[in-house]
Structure 1
């Protein structure tokens, strides 16, 4: 009976030892550095991909028939540059940076913490390299990150939207205040909770999208990287990071785009045309058809593809500079 407690290989023994001591030895140091590395790398990725993100949001907010030329990404981008100026492609940059610190810092920066913690809590019953453990860890990290970052995400969408008479927001803090007032005014009997609910409008769609995106992006990157290394196809390095991130970017774009469309519509709904996420889904299905859930997919893929490549390569590079082992 005693032999059942012995791990089968030296490598497994090392994994168990590292997991059991991680909370005390690296919880306060390496996990904190991983959070910082995740935040910085994703801020860099968002800075690069912000113009594509703005065009994607503009496409998703259009309620016209899917496939019309006026909603093609090159048409939207050209119209923005011509009528609003090239700088309009940088709309929402400050809100985007705030969002990445919280959202990506938590969803990517705490992924390995939850992975190690769940493995230790399960007593090794969940394989360290198994997909189940990865999905569970990514789900927990993404849920926390998406919820906490919802106000910044909402402000980003509002500041990236099109306004015929010019943006009503002077800066990101003015946007927060305006969103708060919307809710406080509509719920005069409870202005505080009304304002708070307004900042968290669309949080259900945001959280679902965060879970879908993170599990498909982080887990696919982790799994592809692990598989390529185990089979001896590629070794640790930028080539492996690029290959794994290319696959992860495509996969998470396909899975998250429908939820992203709903999230953007609900967050930008100042007139409260939608009663909530379910009503928004119903409205899109009835009035625009199922293909409307893939509005902006080209730009979503371009944005998430670029974002995924830059963020993971930067994340791995920063880890190396900080003396942390590769993901």
Structure 2
């Protein structure tokens, strides 16, 4: 007895195929997040000492060009006074920040590229800068906002304290900053204390988000664009050489664009005395006291740190993608 052949309706087949495609795409996006988190954690581990020196430079208020603020002076002074281990201050908070911030801003970049391309019905070209900038900006906004508490704790743990750091570890730093905000609350109601604690952990979030957008747009988009141009013109093929070249350009470009915002962000995050009334007031105060050159304090360390971070990030990111069975970015 033969079993009659049945043909599923076309709509049912299309639905099943579409479901499998969505599942596959979701898995790929999750793997890209994992690759982004791993690569940025590795890069942050390498560049953490440079990041600390950069933060120390940006917190100093000497006139621009002062030799006492040179990166080698700051580094030598830290090693002599606080010990070599001081160059690893804030390491745990830095790792947490990379998982949230960098994992999202780099790991979700292609998700937003695909989403915006589909939403525009092809009006936004995949090779165009408009799509890349939009995707990087949204990814950075989400990542920066969520990671602000970890970023703030990292800055506090990396700052210099003449009498010794008030923070025993990352968890103690989170608790101390929360309590600092709760005590500053004008009301004794529990909800006011919670709101005060959250405000303390999210201090500087506006500057953090602006910096995240500027850095991500300049870093990710320039890497993507340089890769695209070099491949389209037949100058280089996909591989380590191309990844290294594109990441070097991206590191320089994002260092130039993000350093001024980074100075403001660091000053706000370390402002425990509430000297600045927001971003605009901080900018005005720096301009009045130190001049426009102050916005590029720590640039050498910013470039050394961001350049190193960018190169290591993209080299590992592309390699991990390959190991996970994903195509190159």
Q: Distance in 2 between matches of 1:258 and 1:21?
A: 46
The CA RMSD measured in Å over matched residues stands at 1.1
> How does 1:208-247 map onto structure 2 within 5 Å?
208-247=210-249
Unaligned runs of 5+ in 2: 1-17
Match of 1:95 among 76, 93, 96: 93
Question: What's 2:39 paired with?
Answer: 41
Higher Cα Rg, which structure: 2
> How does 1:4-15 map onto structure 2 within 5 Å?
none
Question: What's 2:82 paired with?
Answer: 84
- Give the CA deviation at 1:181: 0.9
- Give the CA deviation at 1:26: 3.0
**Matched residue SS, 2:107:** coil
Residues 35 and 106, structure 1, Cα contact 8 Å, conserved in 2 = yes
Q: Normalising by structure 2, what TM-score? A: 0.92
Question: What's 1:276 paired with?
Answer: 278
CA deviations 1:294-316 (Å, max 9, x no partner) are: 00000000000000000000000
Question: What's 1:201 paired with?
Answer: 203
Number of residue equivalences: 308
Q: Distance in 1 between matches of 2:198 and 2:153?
A: 13
- Does residue 54 in structure 1 map to residue 56 in structure 2? no
- Give the CA deviation at 1:25: 4.0
CA deviations 1:117-139 (Å, max 9, x no partner) are: 10001000011110000000000
Q: Distance in 1 between matches of 2:112 and 2:157?
A: 33
CA deviations 1:3-25 (Å, max 9, x no partner) are: xxxxxxxxxxxxxxxxx989714
> How does 1:13-32 map onto structure 2 within 5 Å?
24-32=22-30
Unaligned runs of 5+ in 1: 1-19
- Does residue 263 in structure 1 map to residue 265 in structure 2? yes
Question: What's 2:156 paired with?
Answer: 158
**Matched residue SS, 1:108:** helix
CA deviations 1:231-271 (Å, max 9, x no partner) are: 00000000000000000000000000000000000000011
Q: Normalising by structure 1, what TM-score? A: 0.93
Question: What's 2:288 paired with?
Answer: 286
- Give the CA deviation at 1:78: 0.2
CA deviations 1:157-188 (Å, max 9, x no partner) are: 00000000110000011001111111110114
Question: What's 1:298 paired with?
Answer: 300
**Matched residue SS, 1:149:** helix
- Give the CA deviation at 1:27: 3.1
The 1:114/1:258 distance shift into structure 2, 3 A limit, reads same
CA deviations 1:176-227 (Å, max 9, x no partner) are: 1111111110114111101101000000000000000000000000000000
- Give the CA deviation at 1:28: 2.1
